[in-house]
Amino acid sequence: MTDLIKMTATEAVALLKAGEVSPHELIDASEKRISETDGAVNALPTLCFERARQHADALAKDVISDRPNHHLHGLPIAIKDLTPVKGVRFTQGSTIYTDQIATHSDLMVERLEECGGIVVAKANTPEFGAGAQTFNEVFGTTTNPWNTSKTPGGSSGGSAASLAAGQVWLAQGSDYGGSLRIPASFSGVVGLRPSPKRVAHGPSGLPFGLNSVEGPMARNVPDVALMLDMMVGEHIADPCSLPAPQQSYVDCLKSVPKFGKVAYSPNLGVCPIDPEVAAICANAAKDFTNYCAGVEEDCFDLSDGEEMFQVLRAAQFSAAHAPKLESDRDKLKPEFIWNVEKGMALTAGEIGKALRDQAVLYQGVVEFFGDYDLLLCPTVMVPPFDHNLRYIEEVNGQKFDNYLTWLSMTFLLTNTACPTISVPCGFTKDGLPVGLQIMAPNGREDIVLQAAYAYERDHDFATQVPIMPRVPS
């Protein structure tokens, strides 16, 4: 069981494909590991092992000889509790839906299951994904396996913690302001925010929204590529969704090029950064000179980025959730209410300006990638912090007046619609993980994965998970 848990997803799938291990054996290993570790981390509070075993039995009768390289062959996975899985409890982290059972699966889940992924659990998330600290009134707080007094971040905190603790081999997350990248950084795993519509999902209440995306999380870059291959592809239920690329993401890692010029920004020009995080990421950027023609300190203009993000996020939040304030206001956390009300108070002029500013930003990004192949920067401005804090209110003497500003290293890049990955790049003196963000032009997930893999191969961070949760004395 221990040997199975320590395997990468790629290794486990190879054994499944060869018939050397069965889906039931991996399901048993996952169940055992969750029972050993989840009391400390509370990553996967909703389990569905009976459903998983039924799926494994059905999979045994499936003929997959025509798609052997595009199949997970029965690998257990976790799905974030913002996403429905038919027949499984679906709370979205809110007491409004404490006892809700999903009547359908998201089409992304259907695609993963069609590709041989077996859902064994739902991962914890903050209420409706609001905030990058994973706690809610239904299931409580998720903690960081590296130190259970700390947060794994959010909103895909349950997914990240489950990977770091070895409970599953792959986990799905979602990302608007950094919900894949922040928990990946805090938990010492890898999280990829794809380009909008790269991963189709739904049916959605806002199918034409482009800012929130679904993506893969894993313990290393090849496993992220493997999961992304199983997630991509257009679907009629998700308008504007993108077709799968001609070359698989796994195959693109077989030949990693030497990159041209690469830019590094220590703070995206506007963010305060914890000194220890800054030093670790600067060292990682220096190491990156081994894989490119040179690293220069540079960035496109993000001086209007926070206002742009705050307006567009609030507008989307109010569009998605305003009715909840009328029906269930007393059950909602204050940060959520603030964000919805901010959106409801916006004028058409404010939204219009934000959209125009985003267009100017994107043209600047296009010009930037005419000079550089990649942008590197820290993933989060701080290392993992006490899980009793709702959010970070101050960094380097700079105070924040809302629950989102401390996420600006990630959400400023959300505005660009470009794929961005967080890959482990070091540890603080207290042994807490730090992540490096790598961004490439829109639609080029292959470049992001190749760059992350080039760095990962020469460093030993990916092999340090999974770990047993470390409970401070």
**Contact, 108 vs 235, CB < 8 A?**
no
Catalytic residue among 30, 80, 156, 185: 80
Assess whether 212 carries a catalytic annotation.
no
Where residue 194 falls (left for φ over 0; alpha for ψ -120 to 50; beta otherwise) is beta
pLDDT mean over 110-114? 97
- Residue 274: which pLDDT band, with cuts at 50, 70 and 90? very high
Task: Identify which has the larger pLDDT, 371 or 65.
Answer: 371
Catalytic residue among 155, 185, 248, 265: 155
**pLDDT for residue 20 is more than 70:** yes
- Residues 404-446: pLDDT tens digits? 999 999 999 999 999 999 999 999 999 999 999 999 999 999 9
Catalytic residue among 179, 248, 265, 318: 179
Residues 6+ apart with CB under 8 A from 139: 42, 45, 46, 91, 93, 124
pLDDT mean over 222-248? 97
pLDDT mean over 220-225? 98
**pLDDT for residue 1 is more than 90:** no
What pLDDT, on a 0 to 100 scale, did the predictor assign at position 316? 96
What pLDDT, on a 0 to 100 scale, did the predictor assign at position 473? 84
Q: In 3D, which of 148, 9, 152, 155 has the Cα closest to residue 81?
A: 155
What pLDDT, on a 0 to 100 scale, did the predictor assign at position 62? 80
pTM: 0.98
Assess whether 422 carries a catalytic annotation.
no
Q: How many CB atoms lie within 10 A of CB 290?
A: 11
What pLDDT, on a 0 to 100 scale, did the predictor assign at position 65? 64
Chain-wide mean pLDDT for the chain?
97
What pLDDT, on a 0 to 100 scale, did the predictor assign at position 200? 98
**pLDDT for residue 148 is more than 70:** yes
- Residues 168-197: pLDDT tens digits? 999 999 999 999 999 999 999 999 999 999
Assess whether 179 carries a catalytic annotation.
yes
